[in-house]
Amino acid sequence: MQNTTPDSNLNSLELTCPSCKKTVLWNDNFPHRPFCSDRCRLIDLGEWASESHRIAGDNLDINSEDEHQS
Ligand SMILES: [Zn+2]
């Protein structure tokens, strides 16, 4: 009989939150893993999204100004 189970190994797995570098455990206490919280998950996604949105927004702004002026 085995004393250890795959579940106990998973519960001891430690990660680092990509947003705030806090320790996150790979278990049900951290449903947003690898992030420590939903907020950190949104921050990470938001940074990525706002960067591409800013680039796309600049392009759209230039195009629409061109159309308005010509
Ligand atoms: Zn975090």
Task: Render pLDDT for 8-66 as a digit per residue (tens, 0 to 9).
Answer: 555 569 999 999 999 999 999 999 999 999 999 999 888 767 776 666 656 656 555 66
Total of domains in the chain: 1
Residue 53 lies in a domain: yes
Ligand 1 centroid from CA 21, angstroms? 6
Residue 70 lies in a domain: yes
Closest CA to 40 of 67, 64, 17, 13: 17
The single residue listed with the structure tokens 């189970």 is: 5
Q: What is the pLDDT of residue 34?
A: 93
DSSP single-letter state for residue 19: T
Ligand 1 centroid from CA 46, angstroms? 14
- Note down the domain range covering 62: 37-70
Residue 7 lies in a domain: no
| CA angle, residues 12, 25, 4, in degrees to nearest 5 | 20
Tell me how crowded residue 24 is: count the other CB atoms within 10 A of its CB: 22
Cβ–Cβ < 8 Å for 45, 18:
no
